[in-house]
Amino acid sequence: MEQKTPFIWDEYSDQPHVIRDKSYKKTMRKRYKNDFLKMLGTTLFMFPLSVSLMKIFTKKQSKDFLKEEFYGLGVNLDKGEFQQELIEELGVKSLIIRVPLSDIQNLDRYYEFVKSFGTDKKILLNIMQDRIHIEDIDLLKLHIMEIFNTFKDITQEYQIGTTINRAKWGFFAVKEYLDFYKTVQDIRDEKYSTLKLLGPSVIDFEYHYTIRALFNNFPIKFDKLSSLLYVDRRGAPTNTQMGIFDTKNKIDMLYSLVKLSPKMKSDDIYITEVNWPLSGTAPYAPTSELECVSEDDYSRYMLEYFQIAKDSQKVQKVFWHQLIAPGYGLVDNRDGKIRKTKAFYELQKLLK
């Protein structure tokens, strides 16, 4: 008999469904009551400190580096082999590609997919967790070594875990993520010292999760910081949360945390996922229709977001999520047809 799981994948929006078993979720959260208290205590101290210093920390970027690698894009194995042609048409040089631990049996397919984009692309592999690998450390070690062995000659950069502050993705506390990350880091340090590991991959502006991940007693270090920095899905990147936090100030605060944290090996920041949901695309949109925007607004917001992040000179790369996705991507592939949105052509103009 097939075992039931509270973790169910939504193929329309390319993310897990919300956990419907509320008793299971509540039980798992209770296990980590002390970790949430630690997060609260650290946040009460670090949040006002980082805000007070966020305009003091500055960074200057190389124009050549920004021109060549700043604009990134997500591509997925399950979206088809014509993505390579679309990437060449766009002129994107930086790609983020998901490698789910839940699909480790198909690792050879992911290897061929990554290779198919050629040798001139900068690849960031997004190693996506699942609950089995979070709970089974030996299995995690085995499969991380398999991934590193497979891709070590193709890329040096790996995002370890994703969306760690959403229980539907598998982690029920930051402590679970830090244990997960340490396991991967130990393997890297012992056998693959040239590889770079990115984390903690917090989604949205939930700064308390980032603070807990960057200020703790775990023996870990992030080579670069990865953030899924969404802003206001109902409006422009200049819209604010908590009064002052538009995209610019969110980046400034994030950079302030990076500069203050003893867990960072560098002050490099990658924004590894951002988009807006598209109106009229249910069930493909990852949010309700209330948060969705038109294709014209989507295109405008994308350009504004890129510009704000680039002008900050505190972000190394921004990876738009993603190339093909009817509910939030640059290309709509419903009914087996490829339709490029206005944002596709705007990004092409920007890059060319």
Q: Which domains does the chain have, with CATH numbers?
A: 22-351 (3.20.20.80)
**Would you say 321 and 98 are in contact if contact means Cβ atoms under 8 Å apart?**
no
With tokens 């993705």, the residue in question is 169
pLDDT tens, residue by residue, 259-271: 999 999 999 999 9
Report the length, in residues, of the chain. Answer: 352
| pTM: predicted TM-score of the whole model, two decimal places | 0.96
Q: 71 has which bridge partners? A: 318
Burial 55-92 (b: 16+ CB within 10 A, else e): eebeeeeeeeeeeeebbbbbbbbebeeebeebbeebeb
Measured CA to CA, the distance from residue 254 to residue 260 in angstroms comes to 10
Q: 16-20, 173-177, 228-232: which has the minimum mean pLDDT?
A: 228-232
Which candidate, 272, 265, 269, places its Cα nearest to that of 314? 269
What integer is the mean pLDDT of 113-122?
96
The C-alpha angle with vertex 37 and arms to 32 and 41, in degrees rounded to 5, equals 150
pLDDT tens, residue by residue, 162-193: 999 999 999 999 999 999 999 999 999 999 99
H or E element, residue 47: helix 33-53
Which candidate, 135, 187, 129, places its Cα nearest to that of 161? 129
pLDDT tens, residue by residue, 317-349: 999 999 999 999 999 999 889 999 999 999 999
What is the chain's mean pLDDT, rounded?
Answer: 95
- Residue 184's contacts (CB-CB under 8 Å, 6 or more residues apart) are 127, 140, 144, 158, 160, 197
Distance of CA 286 to the CA centre of its chain: 15
